[in-house]
């Protein structure tokens, strides 16, 4: 980690903050704002971490926004991530060599793979001079959001293994501090660590868990990589770096962690003990509710001299996870193409927060080919969590040219080409009526452009007046891509009745619209970036999509009794204005109304 910090500094990607910064809210708010500067954002090294409430000064520096932009990601990889994708693609295309030259290339490739498996040494203490900490209180663990249940470790590499010791897993899970030497383990139902937990529980044994913090930043990227089940994530590290991860045995359990870790927390999960974990403002931009999760009893905590505590902040996009997700998107395209060979490319827009929206370009070879690939997406690995997928053909604009691409899609939009299904979803998704499974939506836009524009288009003011004659609770309206054959009409409604009923009433005006999106009055119609974020977060396709007379209604409002929604609808993550104002007064951050408004920092 010290080496990578030096690399960031040499590449003008590091901002050192030596002022006293509170680990409660202040540090996370600074990183949150810095991450929203896009490619101009920098990694942040806090050298004077404090906690005013607890009257503490921490020994360790804190690094945040490690993956601040594409350049930082390349530095962590040691190469361009597109090069990694090409190497994976080449490996997947290996075939039986037919001549001497091909045989040489074949064996060169196989020889290069000798460095992929991690290598093990004897023990943690034997390799490095670690000191033992008495409790988690000595670590500068952050409280990110004002309504979080407490402090959370957010950038921990969580190491677990199967009961028989034959499978190892590296994951990235949030860990709430519930006592001086106790953590709550937010492992989700679909994860390998949960499968291991179930094995230990059935056997009546405690499950060993070790958490490493710091070290090579590529470890944490590998921790969130969507590898096939059973493949140890540090194999990917070896493949990328061309040298194996060096592991050492923990002192209090049988697990191994990277020898260059800055901090190591060792312990066991009592499979019979659960405590309420959360709420926590997560990567969806909403608080996830308090739920029961397993308890980790911490046995040992080790820290190097000059250890760096690595942390991140998640919430409303864009944040550091957008850069990590970009690397994942590019590197894993070749693997995804093995199950969907007619997939040309795909894109996860950052304001779609990964699983909520995917754009895909395919080569359709026969009718319903797009639908076939949709089902393949929904049935493979972490792609099965995708809620909304839009498919275009090879003639479509670049998936990164959003303006041109959306226009292309809307000129081909047909309600009959919507596929509504159901399946598993991210456990953090709040819109689905049930935790972990709900509605899914696919749109096939691989057809030819519509032959004519059948709408009688009005300007926003005139259309709003007509809408208000139908329901006076409609307070504002804005049309997007009105030049297309299927404009998107967004309306703000002070909801009194279910929006499905309002949609039925508005169909008398169907000659003026084709796609109608219902939103709560706290939305800003002039901010399409945040509108998309809220829409894909807030809908469950089976409940919230209405199709009639070739028109489509989308209910992207908060749900409750009117919709038969029985779960608690969550609040969104908003910055504490008093904290931000205080940081501005101390000249830690700058007042930037444009950026604050653009990404809706405050409620």
Which ranges constitute the DSSP H helices of 147-249? 192-203, 218-223, 233-241
Q: What's the CA gap between 107 and 102, in Å, rounded?
A: 9
Task: Give the residue-averaged pLDDT of 426-453.
Answer: 91
Least reliable range by pLDDT among 20-29, 126-135, 153-162, 294-303: 126-135
| The pair of three-digit structure tokens given for residue 19, joined into one six-digit string | 């002022």
Q: What's the CA gap between 566 and 543, in Å, rounded?
A: 13
Mark 40-79 as b/e (b = at least 16 C-beta within 10 Å): ebbbbbbeebbbeeeeeebbbbbbbbbbbbeebbbbbbee
pLDDT of residue 426: 83
Please say whether the beta carbons of 516 and 415 come within 8 A: no
452-476 pLDDT per residue, tens: 898 999 999 999 999 999 999 999 9
Q: What's the CA gap between 393 and 278, in Å, rounded?
A: 42
pLDDT above 90 (res 405): yes
pLDDT above 80 (res 110): no
Long-range contacts of 510-513 (CB under 8 A, 24+ apart): 510/549, 510/550, 510/551, 511/454, 511/455, 511/456, 512/455, 512/456, 512/457, 512/458, 512/463, 512/466, 513/455, 513/463, 513/487, 513/489, 513/551
pLDDT of residue 335: 86
Q: What share of the chain in percent tops pLDDT 90?
A: 82
Give the DSSP H/E element, type plus range, for residue 324.
helix 320-331
pLDDT above 80 (res 102): no
Least reliable range by pLDDT among 141-150, 312-321, 365-374: 365-374
Angle at Cα 601 formed by Cα 598 and Cα 603, nearest 5°? 115
In whole angstroms, how far apart are CA 46 and each of 43, 220, 228, 562?
Answer: 10, 20, 36, 47
548-568 pLDDT per residue, tens: 999 999 999 999 999 999 999
Burial class (CB in 10 A: 0-12, 13-18, 19+), 325: buried
pLDDT of residue 228: 80
Task: Give the residue-averaged pLDDT of 283-296.
Answer: 95
Q: Where in 187-278 does DSSP place strands (E)?
A: 207-213, 246-249, 256-258, 263-277
Please say whether the beta carbons of 153 and 141 come within 8 A: yes
Find tokens 């034959």 and name the residue.
Answer: 166
Task: Give the residue-averaged pLDDT of 161-170.
Answer: 94
pLDDT above 70 (res 129): no
More confident residue, 581 or 116: 581
Enumerate the β-bridge partners of residue 209: 267
Confidence band, pLDDT 50/70/90 cuts, at residue 92:
low
Confidence band, pLDDT 50/70/90 cuts, at residue 570:
very high
Find tokens 């509108």 and name the residue.
Answer: 531
Closest-CA residue to 76 (of 7, 164, 178) = 7
Q: What's the CA gap between 94 and 60, in Å, rounded?
A: 47
Helix (H, G, I), strand (E, B) or coil at 330: helix
Please say whether the beta carbons of 211 and 153 come within 8 A: yes
Find tokens 């003990």 and name the residue.
Answer: 273
> Residue 430 carries which DSSP code?
-
pLDDT above 90 (res 266): yes
Least reliable range by pLDDT among 117-131, 260-274, 480-494: 117-131
Residues 6+ positions from 229 with CB-CB distance below 8 Å:
192, 381
Please say whether the beta carbons of 446 and 393 come within 8 A: yes
In whole angstroms, how far apart are CA 28 and each of 22, 294, 314, 376?
Answer: 9, 26, 9, 38
Give the DSSP H/E element, type plus range, for residue 129.
none
Please say whether the beta carbons of 338 and 92 come within 8 A: yes
Which domains does the chain carry? Answer: 83-310 (2.30.110.10), 320-444 (3.40.1670.10), 460-563 (3.40.1670.10)
| The pair of three-digit structure tokens given for residue 47, joined into one six-digit string | 């050298």
Please say whether the beta carbons of 253 and 206 come within 8 A: no
Query: How would DSSP label each residue in 567-598?
Result: SPPPPB----HHHHHHHHHTTSS---HHHHHH
Task: Give the residue-averaged pLDDT of 13-33.
Answer: 98
Q: Quote the mean pLDDT of the chain.
A: 92
Confidence band, pLDDT 50/70/90 cuts, at residue 106:
very low
Q: Report the 10 Å Cβ neighbour count for 180.
A: 11
Q: What's the CA gap between 207 and 209, in Å, rounded?
A: 6
Task: Give the residue-averaged pLDDT of 344-354.
Answer: 93
In whole angstroms, how far apart are CA 251 and each of 300, 341, 480?
Answer: 8, 46, 60
Closest-CA residue to 600 (of 67, 41, 32, 144) = 32
Q: What's the CA gap between 380 and 336, in Å, rounded?
A: 9
Q: What's the CA gap between 432 and 270, in Å, rounded?
A: 31
Please say whether the beta carbons of 127 and 227 come within 8 A: no
Whole-model pTM? Answer: 0.94
């Amino acid at each position: 980690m010290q080496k990578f910090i030096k690399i960031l500094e040499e590449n003008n990607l590091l901002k050192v903050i030596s002022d006293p910064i509170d680990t409660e809210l202040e540090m996370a708010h600074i990183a949150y704002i810095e991450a929203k500067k896009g490619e101009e954002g920098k990694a942040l090294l806090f050298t004077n971490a404090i906690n005013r409430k607890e009257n503490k000064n921490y020994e360790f520096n804190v690094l945040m926004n490690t993956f601040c932009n594409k350049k930082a990601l390349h530095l962590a990889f040691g190469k361009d991530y597109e090069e990694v994708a090409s190497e994976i693609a080449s490996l997947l295309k290996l075939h039986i060599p037919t001549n001497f030259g091909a045989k040489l290339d074949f064996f060169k490739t196989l020889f290069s793979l000798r460095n992929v498996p991690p290598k093990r040494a004897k023990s943690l203490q034997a390799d490095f001079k670690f000191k033992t900490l008495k409790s988690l209180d000595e670590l500068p663990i952050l409280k990110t959001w004002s309504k979080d249940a407490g402090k959370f470790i957010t950038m921990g590499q969580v190491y677990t293994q199967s009961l028989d010791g034959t499978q190892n897993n590296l994951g990235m899970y949030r860990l709430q501090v519930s006592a001086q030497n106790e953590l709550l383990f937010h492992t989700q139902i679909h994860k390998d660590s949960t499968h291991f937990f179930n094995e230990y529980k059935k056997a009546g044994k405690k499950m060993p868990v070790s958490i490493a913090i710091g070290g090579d930043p590529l470890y944490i990227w590998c921790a969130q990589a969507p590898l096939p089940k059973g493949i140890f994530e540090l194999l990917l590290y070896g493949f990328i770096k061309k040298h194996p991860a060096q592991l050492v045995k923990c002192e209090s359990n049988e697990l191994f962690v990277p020898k260059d870790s800055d901090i190591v927390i060792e312990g066991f999960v009592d499979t019979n003990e659960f405590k309420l974990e959360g709420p926590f403002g997560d990567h969806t931009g909403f608080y996830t509710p308090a739920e029961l999760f397993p308890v980790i009893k911490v046995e040992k905590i080790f820290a190097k001299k000059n250890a760096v505590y690595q942390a991140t902040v998640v919430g409303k996009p864009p944040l550091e996870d957008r850069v990590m997700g970009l690397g994942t998107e590019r590197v894993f395209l070749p693997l995804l193409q093995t199950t969907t060979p007619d997939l040309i490319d795909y894109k996860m827009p950052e304001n779609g927060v990964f699983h909520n929206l995917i754009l895909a370009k395919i080569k359709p070879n026969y009718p319903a080919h797009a639908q076939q690939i949709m089902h393949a997406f929904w049935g493979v690995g972490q792609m099965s969590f995708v809620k909304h997928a839009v498919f275009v053909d090879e003639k479509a604009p670049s998936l990164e040219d959003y303006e041109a691409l959306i226009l292309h899609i809307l000129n081909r939009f047909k309600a009959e080409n919507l596929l509504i299904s159901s399946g598993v979803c991210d456990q953090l998704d709040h819109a689905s009526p049930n935790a972990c499974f709900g509605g899914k939506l696919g749109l096939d836009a691989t057809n030819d452009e519509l032959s004519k524009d059948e709408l009688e288009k009005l300007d926003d003011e005139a259309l709003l007046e007509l809408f208000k004659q139908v329901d006076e609770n409609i307070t504002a309206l804005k049309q997007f891509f009105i030049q297309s054959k299927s404009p998107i009409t967004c309306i703000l409604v002070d909801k009194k009745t279910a929006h499905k009923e309002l949609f039925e009433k508005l169909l008398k005006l169907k000659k003026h619209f084709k796609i109608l999106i219902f939103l709560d009055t706290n939305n800003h119609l002039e901010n399409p970036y945040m509108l998309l974020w809220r829409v894909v977060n807030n809908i469950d396709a089976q409940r919230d999509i209405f199709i009639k007379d070739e028109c489509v209604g989308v209910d992207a409002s908060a749900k409750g009794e009117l919709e038969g929604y029985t779960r608690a609808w969550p609040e969104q993550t908003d910055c504490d204005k008093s904290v931000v104002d205080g940081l501005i007064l101390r000249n830690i951050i700058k007042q930037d109304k444009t950026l604050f408004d653009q990404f809706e920092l405050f409620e």
